[in-house]
Amino acid sequence: MLWKTLIVVTGSQSPVVVVLSGSMEPGFYRGDILFLDMGTSPVRPGEILTKGDNNDKDDSVGQIHSADQKWLLQEHIMGRMIGYLPHVGYVTLIMNDLPVLIS
């Protein structure tokens, strides 16, 4: 019930996410929890949209849904980062990496 309430309040299908890899470093690290909200204002360049940039390639190459698309559409955006808790998501990572601990 709480999860559904968060979805309605934030407008995001994933209002809380755990960073699973190093793809968002150095801004956010593996195990950080991010809080997302869709908001109603237009997306601005530089906003954090939970797409990692820790790579040596241009994100527009091979990342966009079709070859002729040069920008993200609203339906591609899961939410804007509105807050985070560093390292708190490690509990989730440990449960995923070592399922024997929860069985």
Examine residue 20 and state whether it is found in any structural domain, yes or no. yes
Domain around 33: 11-41+76-103
- Enter the tokens of residue 70: 């040069």
The span from the CA of 57 to the CA of 34, in Å, is 24
Q: What tens digit of pLDDT does each residue of 24-48 get? A: 888 889 999 999 999 888 877 777 7
Q: How many domains does the chain have?
A: 1
The span from the CA of 82 to the CA of 9, in Å, is 13
pLDDT of the residue at 91: 87
Examine residue 57 and state whether it is found in any structural domain, yes or no. no
Examine residue 99 and state whether it is found in any structural domain, yes or no. yes
The span from the CA of 95 to the CA of 103, in Å, is 10
pTM of the model as a whole: 0.74
Helix (H) or strand (E) holding 36: strand 33-37
CA nearest to 49, candidates 3, 21, 17: 17
